[in-house]
Amino acid sequence: MQLTEVKGIAEKRAKELEKLGVYTAEDLVRYYPRTYLDMTSRVSVREVLNNDTALIAARINYIEPVRYTGRVRFLRAHLSEGDDTFTAVWFNMPYLAKTLKEGEYLFYGRVQNKYGQISLVNPTFEPLERNNRLKGLVPVYPLRSTLTQRAVRTAVQAALKCVSPPSVIPEELIAKYALASLAWAYRVIHAPETQDERMRASERIALEEYFTLVSAFKLIKGDKNEARHTRYTVSEAEVAQFMRRFSFEFTKGQKSAVRAVYNDVTGPTRMNRLLQGDVGSGKTAVALTGIFMAVRSGHQAVYLSPTEVLAEQNRALLQKMFPEYRVGYLAGSSPAAEKRAVKAALKAGEIDILCGTHAVLQGDVHFADLAFCVCDEQHRFGVAQRNALTEKGVSPDVLVMSATPIPRTLSLIVYGDLDVTTIPDKPKERQPIKTALVPLRKYNDMLEYVRGEVKRGKQAYFVCAKIEDDEGQVTSVTELFEELRARMPDVRFGLLHGKMKEKDKTAVMTAFKRGETDCLVSTTVIEVGVDVPNATIMAILNAERFGLSQLHQLRGRVGRGKDQSWCFLLVGSESETAMERLQLLKETNDGFKLAEKDLELRGSGDFFGTRQSGKFLSEIKHLKYSSDTIFLAKKLSDEAFERHLNYEEIRRVAIEKYESLKDVVLN
Sorted by where each starts, the structural domains of the chain and their CATH numbers stand as 40-133 (2.40.50.140), 236-423 (3.40.50.300), 434-588 (3.40.50.300)
pTM, two decimals, is: 0.59
What's phi and psi for 476, nearest 5 deg?
A: -80, 155
pLDDT of 466? 61
Weakly modelled stretches of the chain, pLDDT under 70: 40, 70-71, 115, 130-136, 145, 220-225, 279, 377-386, 403-418, 427-430, 466-475, 527-530, 573-578, 596-618, 658-667
Question: Residue 512: which residues within 8 A CB-CB, separation 6 or more?
Answer: 459, 494, 520, 532, 535
DSSP result, 150-176:
HHHHHHHHHHHHH--PPP-S-HHHHHH
pLDDT of 494? 93
What are 649-657's contacts with CB under 8 Å, separation 24+?
649/168, 650/168, 650/170, 650/212, 650/215, 651/215, 651/219, 653/168, 653/212, 654/168, 654/212, 654/215, 654/216, 654/219, 655/216, 655/219, 657/212, 657/216, 657/616
Predicted confidence (pLDDT) per residue in 209-245, tens digit: 889 888 877 776 554 557 788 899 999 999 999 999 9
pLDDT of 602? 55
Predicted confidence (pLDDT) per residue in 304-350, tens digit: 988 887 888 899 999 999 999 999 999 988 899 999 999 999 999 99
Amino acid at site 336: A
Q: Which residues of 109-141 are buried (b: 16+ CB within 10 A; e: fewer)?
A: bbbbbeeeebbbbbbbbbeeeebeeeebbbbbb
pLDDT of 613? 39
CA gap 116, 118 in Å, rounded = 6
